[in-house]
């Protein structure tokens, strides 16, 4: 077995965590490969770009937090390889364990005593007024929001070609079940179990309180368009990472991606356990 490592090299603990993970895995006969940025950070040759790392390894270990995982998914590109998040700090929604649990993580790889949580992704196509297209993938969400203006903006949403609503808001979020715990939740959207075949559309600070989140099937095609030329340009973001300027006449098509993320889960760690911890839920 080969395990790829992608680390958030901006974290102070990154170097020690890479060294410890590599050592613990090597002691069990598991080879490790580093992505190009991590290899440069460690002063080691042979770093691989994302797609090459995914092709060469059975498991990819992502060292950091949920944000590091989102960046790693974009870096790796379309892959069905198992991805494990090792959080440098407290456990996140997307991470499999913390850096204090590297030994159990290595043992789980050897014994196969882990599960995978299959997470759907979104593919978004920005179609410019001149017909040119650009394509993006998101694990959490895509967002069409107001740009430089401090005012509300008008935008329309269509589902499978039928008008859903004309929105007057700060913007609109289209999120996966995984993304239901991120920006959509902050904007008042519902929590959705990761395995649900669903997509959620959540308005950001809508002018009318009756405009609520809507859960639709994940086989639907969602299209977003700005309505007024004098409110453009707007900003389109993908997992808070890619930032695209959207002009009047542009449109955005969002649908379920053709590939998914296979997220490693250790025994005793689950989505529901993460909810209880991160949201500070308490029983009676």
| Domain shared by 253 and 125, yes or no | yes
| Domain shared by 233 and 168, yes or no | yes
Residue 284 belongs to a domain: no
Residue 159 belongs to a domain: yes
For the residues 130-144, what does the mean pLDDT come to? 97
How many domains does the chain contain in total?
A: 2
When pLDDT is cut at 50, 70 and 90, the band that residue 278 belongs to is confident
| Domain shared by 148 and 19, yes or no | no
| Domain shared by 241 and 183, yes or no | yes
Residue 49 belongs to a domain: yes
Residue 182 belongs to a domain: yes
Give the domain range for residue 168. Answer: 121-258
Two structure tokens written together for 199: 């997509």
Two structure tokens written together for 121: 């992704």
Range 266-271 contact pairs with CB under 8 angstroms and sequence separation of 24 or more: 266/96, 266/97, 266/101, 266/104, 266/105, 266/108, 266/114, 267/108, 267/113, 267/114, 267/115, 269/91, 269/96, 269/97, 271/93, 271/117, 271/193, 271/194
- Convert the pLDDT of each residue in 199-254 to its tens digit: 999 999 999 888 899 999 999 999 999 999 888 899 999 999 889 999 999 999 99
pLDDT for the residue 284: 55
Q: Which residues contact 93 (CB under 8 A, 6 or more apart)?
A: 66, 178, 181, 182, 271, 274, 278
Q: Answer yes or no: 250 catalytic.
A: no
- Convert the pLDDT of each residue in 43-70 to its tens digit: 999 999 999 999 999 999 999 999 999 9
| Domain shared by 147 and 100, yes or no | no
From 66, 99, 239, 250, the catalytic residue: 66
| Domain shared by 56 and 176, yes or no | no
| Domain shared by 80 and 127, yes or no | no
Residue 283 belongs to a domain: no
Please tell me the pTM assigned to this model.
0.93
- Convert the pLDDT of each residue in 76-105 to its tens digit: 999 999 999 999 866 688 988 988 999 999
Q: Is the peptide bond before 233 cis (omega within 30 degrees of 0)?
A: yes
Whichever domain contains 228, its CATH number is 2.60.200.30
| Domain shared by 8 and 28, yes or no | yes
| Domain shared by 231 and 136, yes or no | yes
- Convert the pLDDT of each residue in 148-187 to its tens digit: 777 899 999 999 999 999 999 999 999 999 999 999 999 9
DSSP-derived letter for residue 129 is T
| Domain shared by 64 and 179, yes or no | no
What is the rounded distance in angstroms from the CA atom of residue 246 to the CA atom of residue 228?
12
CB 254 within 8 A of CB 124: yes
Whichever domain contains 41, its CATH number is 3.40.50.10330
**Annotated binding residues for NAD(+):** 66-67, 140-141, 151, 168, 170, 181-186
Two structure tokens written together for 33: 């490969």
Instruction: Give the count of alpha carbons within 13 A of 240, CB side only.
Output: 11
| Domain shared by 78 and 154, yes or no | no
What is the rounded distance in angstroms from the CA atom of residue 79 to the CA atom of residue 55?
8
Q: Which residues contact 66 (CB under 8 A, 6 or more apart)?
A: 85, 92, 93, 94, 95, 182
Residue 8 belongs to a domain: yes
| Domain shared by 126 and 253, yes or no | yes
Task: Return the bridge partners of 175, or none.
Answer: 141, 200
Residue 45 belongs to a domain: yes
């Amino acid at each position: 077995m080969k395990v790829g490592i992608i680390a958030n090299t901006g974290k102070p603990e990154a170097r020690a965590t890479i060294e410890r993970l590599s050592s613990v895995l090597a002691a069990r006969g598991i080879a490790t490969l580093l992505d190009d940025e991590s290899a440069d950070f460690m002063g080691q040759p042979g770093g691989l770009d994302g797609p090459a790392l995914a092709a060469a390894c059975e498991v990819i270990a992502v060292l950091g937090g949920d944000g590091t995982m989102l960046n790693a998914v974009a870096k790796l590109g379309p892959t069905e390889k198992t991805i494990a998040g090792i959080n440098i700090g407290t456990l996140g929604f997307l991470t499999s364990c913390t850096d204090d649990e590297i030994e159990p993580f290595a043992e789980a790889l050897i014994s196969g005593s882990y599960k995978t949580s299959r997470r759907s992704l979104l593919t978004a196509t920005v179609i410019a007024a001149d017909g040119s297209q650009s394509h993006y993938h998101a694990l959490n969400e895509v967002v069409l929001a107001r740009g430089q203006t401090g005012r509300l903006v008008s935008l329309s949403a269509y589902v499978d070609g039928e008008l859903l609503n004309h929105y007057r808001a700060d913007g609109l979020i289209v999120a996966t079940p995984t993304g239901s715990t991120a920006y959509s939740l902050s904007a008042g959207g519902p929590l959705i179990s990761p395995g649900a075949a669903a997509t959620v559309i959540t308005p950001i600070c809508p002018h009318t309180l009756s405009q609520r989140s809507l859960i639709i099937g994940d086989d639907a095609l969602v299209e977003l368009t700005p309505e007024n030329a004098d409110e453009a340009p707007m900003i389109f973001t993908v997992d808070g990472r890619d930032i695209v300027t959207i002009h009047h006449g542009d449109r955005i098509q969002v649908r379920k991606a053709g590939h998914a993320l296979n997220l490693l889960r250790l025994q005793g760690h689950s989505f529901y356990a993460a909810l209880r911890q991160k949201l500070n839920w308490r029983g009676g």
